[in-house]
Amino acid sequence: TFAFEKYPFLKELGLEQTNHGCFDGEKWTGNGKTFLSVNPTNNEVIAEVRGATPEEYEVAVQNMNKAKAEWVKLPLPRRGEIVRQIGDAFRKHKAALGRLVSLEVGKIVAEGEGEVQEIIDICDMACGLSRSLNGQIIPSERPDHFMMEQWNPLGLVGVISAFNFPTAVFGWNFMIAAVCGNLTMWKGSPSTSLCSVACTKIIIDILEKNNLPKAALTLCMGEADIGNLMVEDKRFPLISFTGSTQVGRIVSEKVSKRFGKTILELGGNNCLIVCEDANEELALKASCFAAVGTCGQRCTSLRRLLIHSSKYESLKEKLVKAYKSVVVGDPLNNGTLCGPLHSKAQIKIYEDGLKQIQEQGGKILTGGKVMDGPGNFVEPTIVEMTNPYAPILQHELFVPILYIMKFDDLDEAIAINNSVPQGLSASLFTSNLQNLFKWTGPLGADTGIVNVNIGPSGAEIGGAFGGEKETGGGRESGSDSWKQYMRRSTCTVNFGKSLPLAQGIKFDL
């Protein structure tokens, strides 16, 4: 039995109890594996989605290739206009889609809606970009020569995404890729398949209304099987992968073996440092949101909190008190601040993680228990660690466990921040200019996102998003991230009547 009828907003998104999970560029289909959409609040099955078979995948790629020329020939601002219309469609469905994200992932509605807002924002940004994707004009050393850069689309882009941001990450990739002139195939996470189907429907509807090739977006839901087909397929010059470092490593190796490009957005292990001169109230609020938001399942979630010893006891006490007031419950309810973990597998990670933490000297200050009931609820947890280099701190557990630690000297705290293999996001709380510029400078934080007086999670779409080291090195969303979805040609044009060679080389026949 399905709990589908309990959630009327699903129908507004064109969803049904049994859904096709493959849009092959022309029609909805799906004769592959069945994926159940499960509500993590009570583990009831909401609906099912039938994924793509390898044959359906092949049809989708062929349809994309057939539609390529038509999509590429559209003037860039025309593609921008389509993306603008897509943004309006997401505006219209923001409430329903936000609730679906909340229902299927387990994050609170405000965060679900926030994710849809990110899609709307990236649509606006991509529309603006469609009139400003400029190449450079470069002075030539040769007389009567003209040098310019021309940016052309890559062709087909494959997007593989994770469960925790089941709509926004796709939105970042698709909107920029589409404006740049690419066609996108998406494989979302199997456990958030309704989100994938709903977003695809919204976009296909706009393409259809504009009489444009629908194969600008195809959807092939599946697991590692379909993911691997995309990764090994030379017809995808770019694979944008968001997920764990473990799977990212496999993806990276396979794509680079065929000389494809990747954008890798992998695991984080994010730190917040509270200096002696920091505003303690701000640091407290920022830490709570960053560590508890999405039940600790954001790539940018706060894992390690380093507090200057002069502030340690007072902030520790306030944090424990704040944690005790966090309302854990149904993410669809007003007032809930922390929903359930996404899956039973996450509960095991929480339990096993706590065991290891205690073996390595960690002391639980609050939380630490799996809550009774049919859902995947756990208590948001604070652990006091004395050794900031304990082996467990090198890993991203992806559950709401926050480590708190003491430090005395900022250089030492920066060294601890940088001591982990991941390099996504980091924050410093200070009111001292010297600290600030040390932190953002070459000997400061080694992460892709470096914040001051705000927490490590909750990035704006205007900046390039991504991280260093085992986070994969990719950059998505804002700034000049669009360049990764295009290939750059350096074009030299001779408009003279002789043939001077570069570097003054003489080659007289």
Chain residues in the site for ligand NAD (CB under 6 A): 160-165, 169, 187, 189-190, 223-224, 227-228, 231, 242-244, 247, 250-251, 265-268, 299, 396, 398, 424, 467, 471
Smallest separation, CB 181 to ligand NAD (Å): 24
Q: Is 265 a catalytic residue?
A: yes
Q: Of 145 and 395, which has the nearer Cβ to ligand NAD?
A: 395
CA distances from 71 to 62, 88, 321 (A): 14, 21, 56
Annotated catalytic residue, options 48, 56, 111, 265: 265
Annotated catalytic residue, options 123, 199, 299, 338: 299
Q: Of 219 and 231, which has the nearer Cβ to ligand NAD?
A: 231
Per DSSP, the three-state class of 363 is strand
Strands (E), 238-295: 238-242, 261-265, 270-274
Cα separation, 31 vs 33, whole angstroms: 7
Q: Cβ-count burial of 446 within 10 angstroms (0-12 exposed, 13-18 middle, 19+ buried)?
A: middle
Q: Of 187 and 201, which has the nearer Cβ to ligand NAD?
A: 187
Q: Is 223 a catalytic residue?
A: no
Q: Of 435 and 471, which has the nearer Cβ to ligand NAD?
A: 471
The residue number whose beta carbon is nearest to ligand NAD equals: 227
Q: Which of 231, 193, 152 is nearest to 487 (CA)?
A: 152
Residue pointed to by tokens 């704006």 = 460
End-to-end CA distance of the chain: 83
Smallest separation, CB 208 to ligand NAD (Å): 26
Smallest separation, CB 374 to ligand NAD (Å): 22
Query: What is the DSSP annotation of 4-54?
Result: GGG-THHHHTT--SEEE-EE-SSSEE--S-EEEEEETTTTEEEEEEE---H
Cα separation, 62 vs 434, whole angstroms: 57
Residue pointed to by tokens 């049809």 = 59
Smallest separation, CB 297 to ligand NAD (Å): 7
Q: Of 473 and 500, which has the nearer Cβ to ligand NAD?
A: 473
Smallest separation, CB 276 to ligand NAD (Å): 31
Task: Name, in order, each residue with C-beta under 8 angstroms of 347's C-beta and a sequence gap of 6 or more.
Answer: 341, 370, 376, 378
Q: Would you please indicate which residues are annotated as catalytic (active-site) residues? A: 265, 299
